């Protein structure tokens, strides 16, 4: 194998780069997960994750992926044969709906074009039609990783309330948690699903369910088959700082440090940083003369940007050239977007200079691959980043 100088640029929208500080935490020796040292860590991460989700209610932490957390949300709060309303906003919303069918739920899917978030007006109409309240949950993806589109969750909550419908609201935040402002309690969400490998800056391996009192009440009436995912057992054990089964001890070490890092920076600053990098990326894309997949500016994602390739040019060929020539990984187009888009991840442990390098790699790759574009995308992004740096300096000076 040939050595490549410098570091690999992992610019897919997750798993993201793991900071050295988190890696050093994970690298510690494993300890007794029934002992007092672990108990202190258990309490710390359980309370810390409440702050991440912006909730006063419990957050359940699983040794498992986001897919597992999807399943946990459904099997803990619903009953066999229950009807759920889901919005097709991209690849991952489609996967969640398929999983719902596999666990024995009836799924009503609102179709979408993969360029917009969940349609709150269509959801409200469907709920108004549901006079018997057969629909027991509305499930949406907050930030669709496959498309770079963010659904406006307060509008979904308003749609449910306008219809005076009792359905639970379940939201996937796997690629938005700790990157895009998300308010579980304030937005009236009943179950929020999360994962460790994106904004939380950890490797894959932890899944999360943040749950409301309404969801916990539904859980008491739920008859869905479950064992490992059962909220009741986990919450009972969590009350003492432990888990009923073996937890992902070393990942929890990393989670404790990741929460510390987020809070040292400050959540408002974290969200503003992601917003800044997303806007700089979009300015680069426009300067290149390329099109952003997301069709609604109010729904632009601050975690990633999906870029459409010009007709006749293959996005995967372009990605291959960027990887071979510049040692940078960009996100692929998934399922019906395969070969049509590439995705630039700008989330997690990421700063202005990393973004500038990322966009330079994209611009050079466009040239090498012979993709029609205009020069100047990096310059447009840098101009925005410099202006924002000047503005922040002025604010600090005035404080």
- Binding site members: 343
> What backbone phi and psi angles, to 5 degrees, belong to 300?
-60, 135
Identify the CA nearest to 280 among candidates 354, 176, 342.
354
CB 176 within 8 A of CB 199: yes
The strand pairing partners of 63, in sequence order, are: 206
Distance separating alpha carbons of residues 39 and 42, to the nearest angstrom: 5
Annotated binding site for substrate: 343
User: What separation in angstroms does the CA of 303 have from each of 61, 143, 327?
Assistant: 23, 8, 21
Beta strand pairing status for 83-87 and 135-141? parallel
E strand or H helix that includes residue 9: strand 9-11
Distance separating alpha carbons of residues 106 and 83, to the nearest angstrom: 5
Helices and strands per DSSP (H, E), number in the chain:
13, 14
Classified as helix, coil or strand, 4 is: coil
């Amino acid at each position: 194998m040939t050595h490549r100088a410098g570091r690999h640029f992992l610019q897919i929208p997750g798993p993201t780069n793991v900071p050295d500080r988190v890696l050093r935490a994970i690298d510690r020796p494993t300890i007794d997960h029934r002992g007092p040292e672990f108990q202190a860590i258990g309490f710390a991460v359980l309370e810390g994750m409440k702050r991440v989700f912006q909730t006063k209610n419990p957050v359940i932490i699983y040794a498992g992926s986001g897919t597992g957390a999807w399943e946990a949300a459904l099997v803990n709060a619903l009953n066999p044969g229950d009807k759920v309303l889901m919005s097709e906003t991209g690849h991952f919303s489609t996967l969640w709906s398929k999983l719902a069918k596999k666990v024995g739920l009836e799924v009503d899917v609102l179709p979408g074009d993969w360029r917009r978030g969940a349609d709150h007006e269509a959801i409200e109409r469907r709920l108004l039609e549901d006079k018997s309240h057969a629909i027991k949950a509305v499930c949406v993806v907050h930030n669709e990783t496959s498309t770079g589109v963010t659904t406006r969750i307060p509008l979904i909550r308003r749609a449910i309330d306008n219809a005076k419908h009792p359905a639970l609201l379940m939201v996937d935040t796997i690629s938005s948690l700790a990157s895009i402002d998300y308010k579980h309690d304030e937005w009236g969400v009943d179950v929020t699903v999360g994962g460790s490998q994106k904004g939380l800056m950890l490797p894959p391996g932890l899944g999360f369910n943040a749950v409301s009192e309404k969801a916990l009440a539904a859980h008491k009436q739920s008859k869905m088959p479950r064992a490992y995912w059962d909220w009741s057992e986990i919450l009972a054990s969590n009350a003492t700082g432990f888990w009923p089964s073996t937890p992902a001890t070393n990942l929890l070490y990393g989670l404790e440090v990741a929460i510390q890092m987020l809070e040292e920076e400050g959540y408002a600053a974290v969200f503003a940083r992601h917003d800044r990098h997303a806007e700089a990326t979009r300015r680069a894309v426009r300067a290149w003369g390329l099109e952003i997949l997301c069709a609604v500016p109010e729904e632009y994602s601050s975690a990633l940007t999906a870029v459409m390739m010009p007709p006749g040019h293959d996005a995967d060929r372009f990605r291959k050239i960027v990887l071979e020539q510049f040692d940078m990984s960009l996100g692929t187009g998934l399922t019906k977007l395969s070969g049509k888009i590439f995705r630039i991840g700008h989330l997690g442990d990421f700063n202005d200079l990393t973004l500038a390098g990322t966009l330079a790699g994209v611009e050079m790759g466009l040239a090498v691959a012979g993709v029609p574009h205009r020069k100047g995308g990096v310059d447009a992004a840098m101009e925005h980043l410099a202006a924002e740096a000047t503005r922040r300096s002025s604010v600090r000076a005035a404080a």
